[in-house]
Copies of this chain bind each other. A is one copy, B any other.
């Protein structure tokens, strides 16, 4: 036997790799997300993970660019995609003439960011995105449909109560317009965005450093601490009587969104106007969303997004407004597992294992065939092993049923079906077994 130089098998840090039981659960969650996206008629999209760096980085800069996995192959500069939005922009610009607008698409796929490895941060992670892209215009009602999709998904996933926070960037812009400090807006938004993390006092302190007058800071505070029900918040915003046009536009949009979110039957307890959320600073221009699991706000938003004025300005002159969201599935899964919020999941795909005792495998194959024709996932234990080993395989994988075939079964043309949970067993015909397993 030749000498083999062995390498320690290992997985890179920041890359998720699951054991079968967790993988089954992970896939179930992904399937729920996908099915819901399809229930709303979104078309599937799949773009390459590798793109020309020049194309992928048309817009990027700063933090993002540093995190990107880039490399040379031949004479080409290539990069791994770092989100699904840039590929979407590229795709829509590239195939504009072949698409029907509004273009509703979902993409579920892996993206790559070379972030500093830390708990719950992944370098390879799934994003599950939907976007609706209009050709030069897109109705505000689309912005109300999005929360209903988030709502449907998290209801189905059943991880407990959640709340979808809704805001409109134009309202924030209008505030700064009204106060005459629009030029400081992006700095201020960065500070406001930290409100939950650092608290109001620290926010005020940071605002002071921007040389904003105490009077204006007070008005900002009043604004971002507006409380009450969704209707009360809207009415308080109206009562501000701001003259800013952009403010009025944002408030009008928010009212429309809230009205239609209710039409879409999103429970009042599952969505709230939150005037502090702003999301990406140079991207979103209207409605913005975040989603928190109630009681677990510290893990951050589990589904975010918003409305943007123009998706693909770096690739085309066409004006393509859109609205969309993204679920960071890998991180969500990690957090749910850490928090013990994952509902229990099965450890096997097979509903039944078929074993023989003292007879040939023919009969096992015969029943496996019939069960598969009836769409019942199953497997035959084929190894030459002691009965104990056969049972311990089924037990390890938590396979719910076992079919045992021995001489008596062959003679009578019946099968012993054992319920592995209750231990109960009966001799049955194939048809009876199908009835039980279906």
Contact = CB atoms under 8 A, between A and B. Distances in A.
Interface of A: 4-12, 15-20, 23-24, 26-27, 38-52, 54-55, 58, 69-74, 76, 78, 80, 89-91, 93-95, 98-100, 102, 104-105, 110, 112, 114, 123-124, 134, 137-139, 141-142, 145, 152, 260, 263-265, 312-317, 348-350, 353, 361-362, 365-366, 369, 372, 375-380, 382-384, 393, 396-397
Given A7-B58, A137-B383, A141-B382, A20 B40 contact: no
A194 B188 CA distance: 70
A342 to B, nearest CB: 16
A73 B114 CA distance: 8
A6 B100 contact: no
B100 A396 contact: yes
Given A361-B260, A382-B142, A45 B74 contact: no
B382 A17 contact: no
Given A145-B382, A382-B139, A10 B44 contact: no
B263 A379 contact: no
A48 to B, nearest CB: 4
B141 A361 contact: yes
Copies in the complex: 2
A349 B42 contact: yes
Contact of A19 (B23, B51, B76, B95): B95
A95 B22 CA distance: 13
Nearest to A107: B23
Nearest to A103: B20
Contacts of A138: 383
Given A17-B48, A141-B380, 16 more contacts: A5-B314, A6-B317, A7-B315, A9-B312, A10-B90, A10-B94, A12-B48, A19-B99, A20-B99, A20-B105, A26-B46, A44-B349, A100-B396, A141-B382, A152-B372, A263-B366
B350 A41 contact: yes
B7 A365 contact: no
A256 to B, nearest CB: 10
Contacts of A139: 382-384
A49 B124 contact: yes
Contact of A40 (B46, B112, B372): B372
A9 B94 contact: yes
A388 B112 CA distance: 43
Nearest to A23: B44
Contacts of A6: 58, 313-317
B17 A52 contact: no
Interface centre among A8, A45, A145 (most CB of B within 10 A): A8
A313 B20 CA distance: 22
A11 B350 CA distance: 40
25 contacts: A6-B58, A9-B55, A9-B93, A9-B315, A10-B94, A11-B48, A12-B52, A19-B99, A20-B45, A24-B43, A26-B46, A40-B379, A41-B348, A69-B73, A70-B71, A71-B71, A100-B397, A134-B383, A139-B383, A141-B361, A141-B382, A142-B382, A260-B365, A263-B361, A263-B366
